[in-house]
Amino acid sequence: MASRLSTPNDSDNQPTLVDLLIESGIASPHSFHETTLNTDWIFCEDISRLDPVISVACAKQLEFVRTFKLGWASSEPHALGIPEKWELDANSKTWILSDHMHAAALLRWLRPIKGNLTFISTDDIVKRHDDSKSFLPDFLLHAPHILDHPIETESYDWTSSTYSLPFFMEIISYPGDEASADMAIPGFFQPTPNCTLVSDVVYDFPPPLSVRNHHYNKTFAVVENSFRPLTPSHFQIIASLLRPTLLVGMKGPARWPAPLANLIRMSQSASVSASLNQTLLDLAQSIEPNLFALLMNWHYRCERNIDGIGEPSLPSYRCIPTWLIQFGLIYDAEGLIIVAHIPYLAAPSSPTSAPLSFLSCIVDRISMPGLIGIRPSSTSHGASILSNLKAALALSCLQRHAFVVSALLEGVSWPSSIVQEDAEDEGDQEDGSTSSDADEYGVY
């Protein structure tokens, strides 16, 4: 891929990518070693054991993460919300028989944990969806959207939570095998508005970010793609400065049990990382340039006062919103691991250090017990069903976060040199790329 940052016809005041990295607080003039950008990353598997100095520096972001986690993690009675419509459809014959059957099937699974549930009215679900400050589970993101279905929009009710029910059902009734996990977990994000779900995502970032242009097997990503209806079906979506990932998922180290016939194949497979530490490192490396792209978008929004954000008297990196972080998701035979990648304003360790440092920390570990052979409404398996419901609600929170962050990319005009570069790379892909529709998840 080309790596030019400016053209001979650009005006002298066209910023380079290095300029943008410095102005956004990501780097300092001393952060670059030849073609490599050095940044300060801290890894933490247990937030409660985080260095107190770092805890203070990113206290607001960590408080956001704790609040975000309440969308699925509460064990209080009647604390986990699901749509009231699901219960109504389950208990009454609707004019669409399939709605009744699907809702009745799901509610049978949830019967043993009814004491943990609260039912949310359709009005409150719509209000939650319309609230740009809400990061609670959003039961309307699976509905068909106008841009995706411009001809048939009259036949869809975007305020109906019925569309999200099958996605929750796949997670709650998860049988416990790898194939089901590969379909249900990435597939949960398939219809995210303004985004595209991509398997084995390809990165194309120019220097000095190109060092992260590795290919990681068994990954998926939710990539910003506001022009999704205009994207040719054969076009491979590439993560780039103008189209960054908003969520990255990776296979973890815990393997699923396999039939004897598959043991040899599994032993020869190199698709699963050898350790959780390596997976966390791979996840952070894959997210890093995408998080930088979001921070540079934030810088432009502040600089140009788009939507009235930012504070004119402060540089953009001093007023980063607490929700401007990027989540990663690790899934394997043991369940889900949710990881937050957080930019924070650190006390300078030296006169040459960059304003921003970065924290990669585990937010939660959610087990996903396999329920194969378990009868719905089995009271002896309530804990397993509850854990799977929490996993589904967590995925919904992550989808909501990606949807909200995607709005950060709207209305921002990048320097013409970088826009031209991205367009040239996409043109190369349209001319010569092969379809990824045959991949495990494909481009949706």
Strands 335-345 vs 356-367: parallel, antiparallel or unpaired: antiparallel
User: By residue range, what is the domain housing residue 162?
Assistant: 17-148+156-258+269-432
Tell me the C-alpha distance between 333 and 178, whole Å.
Answer: 7
Tell me the C-alpha distance between 374 and 166, whole Å.
Answer: 19
Q: Is residue 329 part of a domain?
A: yes
Residue 206: closest CA among 19, 440, 418, 7: 418
A 10 A CB-CB count for 419 gives 13
The pLDDT value recorded for residue 164 is 95
Structure tokens at 391: 């996993």
DSSP summary character for residue 250:
E
Q: Is residue 409 part of a domain?
A: yes
User: Whose structure tokens read 């962050």?
Assistant: 405
Run of H or E including 118: strand 117-120
Q: How many domains does the chain have?
A: 1
Residue 68: closest CA among 293, 396, 320: 396
The pLDDT value recorded for residue 97 is 58
Q: Is residue 189 part of a domain?
A: yes
The pLDDT value recorded for residue 213 is 62
Residue 297: closest CA among 21, 13, 12: 21
The pLDDT value recorded for residue 393 is 99
Which residue stretches of the chain have pLDDT < 70? 1-14, 33-35, 93-98, 145-156, 211-213, 215, 217, 227-235, 259-274, 306-313, 417, 419-444
Residue 340: closest CA among 79, 185, 176, 135: 135
Straight-line distance from the first to the last Cα atom of the chain, in angstroms, rounded to the nearest whole number? 24
Q: Is residue 295 part of a domain?
A: yes
Q: Is residue 372 part of a domain?
A: yes
Structure tokens at 284: 């952070």
Structure tokens at 201: 């995502």
The pLDDT value recorded for residue 373 is 82
Give the distance, in angstroms, between the CA of residue 226 and the centroid of all CA atoms in the same chain: 16
- Residue 44, beta-bridge partner list: 361
Q: Is residue 1 part of a domain?
A: no
Q: Is residue 347 part of a domain?
A: yes
User: What burial letters (b/e) apply to 83-120, b meaning 16+ CB within 10 Å?
Assistant: bbbbbebbeeeeeeeebbebbbebbebbebbeebbeeb
The pLDDT value recorded for residue 6 is 34
CA distances from 365 to 8, 38, 65, 110 (A): 51, 30, 14, 21
Q: Is residue 3 part of a domain?
A: no
* Secondary structure class of 10 (helix, strand, coil): coil
Tell me the C-alpha distance between 325 and 250, whole Å.
Answer: 18
Structure tokens at 65: 């993460």
Tell me the C-alpha distance between 280 and 381, whole Å.
Answer: 31
The pLDDT value recorded for residue 444 is 40
What single-letter amino acid sits at 373?
Answer: G
